[in-house]
């Protein structure tokens, strides 16, 4: 089977987000800078964490995960909505592209964007760590970090694909982002540890899929987390499989018509 259609579509998606590099890279850079400055530096000394870890170091892995998730989700979802508006989406079905080719190419482009933003956020975090603590934040488990961030980027790329293919307007897509994705991110432990929660809310957090990605990345850097590293990997793998089948079903049932 020829891979030319796959790489052609993936290249198109990569070029699309690179054309708006200010939105793709500059916005997460500024947002991360503000989070680290306000929460990590401004309020960090007043916040205690388990084991005495500086709050700045606790915060950085969460921000990396948040950047990966947000950007991996946004890339295919907004691309598909723009295609619906301009009528380009009809080309996906009139060409020889298979369903798996469409899903795979758009998910790979989303993964690249998510990992690129995650890398930029990590570099900013390292600068803050070095300036304020005098040392770099070196991952304890680099291979675990790499595998989990790739899984997170692919998973939310697939979610973004599903959202973009079923959404009928930018408003409905924005509702998914604002009322589902963002609350799950903020309640997933980016800014706090489960140790600070009431037992009821602590138990509820385990039903939040994003909780496992945030804690997995935090474990990779700090060698400590609110969940077992093994369970994190198993649950993340299961979520990845489920999101692929959802994306496949959505792609099969989509109308591919201009709005």
Going by C-alpha positions, the residue among 206, 222, 212 that lies closest to residue 152 is: 212
Q: What confidence category does residue 1 fall into, taking pLDDT thresholds of 50, 70 and 90?
A: low
Least confident of 46-60, 176-190, 227-241: 46-60
* Average pLDDT over the chain, rounded to an integer: 90
Give the pLDDT mean for 129-137. Answer: 91
Q: Note the pLDDT tens digit of each residue in 149-165.
A: 999 999 999 999 999 99
Q: Cβ neighbours of residue 190 under 8 Å, at least 6 residues apart?
A: 59, 62, 63, 65, 66, 214
Supply the pTM of this predicted model. Answer: 0.94
- Calpha distance 65→40 (Å, rounded): 16
pLDDT class of 223 with cuts at 50, 70, 90: very high
Residue 8 has pLDDT above 80, yes or no: yes
pLDDT range class, residue 48, cuts 50, 70, 90: low
Higher pLDDT, 231 or 27: 231
Q: pLDDT digits over 210-222, tens only?
A: 999 999 999 999 9
CB 105 within 8 A of CB 14: no
CA–CA gap between residue 14 and residue 57 (Å, rounded): 31
pLDDT tens track for 53-86: 888 999 999 999 999 999 999 999 999 999 988 8
pLDDT-derived band of residue 23, with 50, 70 and 90 as boundaries?
Answer: confident
């Amino acid at each position: 089977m020829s891979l030319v259609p796959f790489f052609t579509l993936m290249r198109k998606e990569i070029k699309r987000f690179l054309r708006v590099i200010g939105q793709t890279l500059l916005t997460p850079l500024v947002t991360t800078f503000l989070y680290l400055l306000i929460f990590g530096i401004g309020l960090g000394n007043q916040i205690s964490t388990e084991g005495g870890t500086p709050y700045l170091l606790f915060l950085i892995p969460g921000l990396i995960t948040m950047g990966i998730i947000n950007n991996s989700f946004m890339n295919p979802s907004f691309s598909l909505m723009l295609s619906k508006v301009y009528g380009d989406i009809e080309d996906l079905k009139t060409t020889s592209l298979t369903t798996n080719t469409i899903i795979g190419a758009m998910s790979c482009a989303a993964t690249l964007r998510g990992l690129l933003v995650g890398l930029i956020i990590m570099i900013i975090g390292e600068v803050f760590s070095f300036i304020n603590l005098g040392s770099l934040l070196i991952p304890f488990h680099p291979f675990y970090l790499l595998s989990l961030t790739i899984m997170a980027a692919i998973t939310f790329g697939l979610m973004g694909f599903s959202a973009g293919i079923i959404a009928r307007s930018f408003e409905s897509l924005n509702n998914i982002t604002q009322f589902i994705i963002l609350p799950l991110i903020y309640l997933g432990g980016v800014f706090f540890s489960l140790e600070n929660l009431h037992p009821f809310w602590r138990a509820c957090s385990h039903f939040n899929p994003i909780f496992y990605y945030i804690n997995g990345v935090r474990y990779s850097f700090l060698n400590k987390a609110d969940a077992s590293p093994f369970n994190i990997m198993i649950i993340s793998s299961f979520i990845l499989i489920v999101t692929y089948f959802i994306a496949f079903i959505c792609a099969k049932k989509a109308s591919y018509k201009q709005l």
